[in-house]
Amino acid sequence: MGSLMIIGGAEDRTDNMEVLKKFIELSGGEDQPLVVLTAASTVPEKIWEMYQGAFNALHAHKVRHLPMADRAAAEDEELAHAIATAKGIFITGGDQKRLMTIIGGTRCGNALRQAWRENGACLAGTSAGASGMCTHMMAEGHADLAPEKGAARLAAGLGFVPRVVIDQHFAQRHRINRLLSVVTQSPFLLGAGIDENTALVVHQSDGLEVVGEGCVTVVDCRDARTNIVDIPAGEVPHIFGARLHLLPAGACFRREGELTDFIDYLTKEH
């Protein structure tokens, strides 16, 4: 089983490119076959041009763009084979709902799991691609000034990470209230907010690390006390006892202490 790389969006593609370098490393190096999926975007060629330049600058020349404009393309046997045999798969940003509408439950969607589980590939997603990694996906929402009941809506994702919901562009777009809104109302889930140019790297064998320049914020409301079930939609709930963990870039974590459950959810084979 390979690694998961969950990126908060806006990763550096021109200067140090630490996040993209890590993706290439986890994929086995610059000589390994890599594929870029742009299904989340309405301007796939423009997105591919950006990543093609970045990967070329990092001397990764066995990179192939797999455009998928609709579900018919996502059922293409040749494209599915290219995914299943790749050592690194990079899912770009755009709209996670579009991504799931095109790829969810298709031959290419199944090939993602085959590559990750059977071929040891690194599966990376940035922005919308990051949100789509989980079983429960942040589909849309707002909560600019305070957490609000019903401020965000969940949908089904690709299912690589259970019991965690990802929010991206986290610090830059001030999304702590949005994530609190979701996790307070669905305490079965843990929330992970990932900053821009920052990646949460999940090593299936022994834990996780944070790469880039920002932080990952983990929100845990399993033991919180709240009145959210008793208030109307749009109102701000009382929240007592919510726990937040801050995981800065450069840190590595194993199964111990406060993060044991979070790491178990991220690394559980399913």
| Catalytic residue from among 3, 27, 136, 169 | 169
- Tell me the two tokens of residue 21: 């370098």
Backbone angles phi, psi at 84, to 5 degrees: -65, -25
Q: Which of 27, 131, 136, 196 is catalytic?
A: 196
Exposed / middle / buried, residue 73 (Cβ in 10 Å: 0-12, 13-18, 19+): middle
Report residue 197 as tokens: 């140019």
Write the CB contacts of 120 (distance below 8 Å, at least 6 apart in sequence): 1, 2, 87
Please say if 270 is a catalytic residue: no
Per the annotation, the verdict on 140 as an active-site residue is no
Task: State the residue for tokens 């093609």.
Answer: 52
Return the HEC string of 44-80: HHHHHHHHHHHHHHCCCCCEEEECCCCHHHHCCHHHH
CA–CA distances in Å: residue 209 to residues 17, 132, 174, 227, 244: 17, 20, 23, 35, 17
131 assigned to active site: no
Reduced to 3 states (helix: H, G, I; strand: E, B; else coil), residue 6 is strand
Map residue 23 onto helix, strand or coil: helix
What distance in Å separates the CA atoms of residue 230 and residue 197, rounded to the nearest whole number? 39
Question: Dihedral angle at the C-alpha atoms of 90, 92, 96, 99, nearest 10 degrees?
Answer: -70
Q: 248 - beta bridge partners?
A: 215
Q: Which of 127, 136, 148, 203 is catalytic?
A: 127
Which residues partner with 90 through β-bridges? 36, 124
Catalytic residue numbers?
A: 127, 169, 196
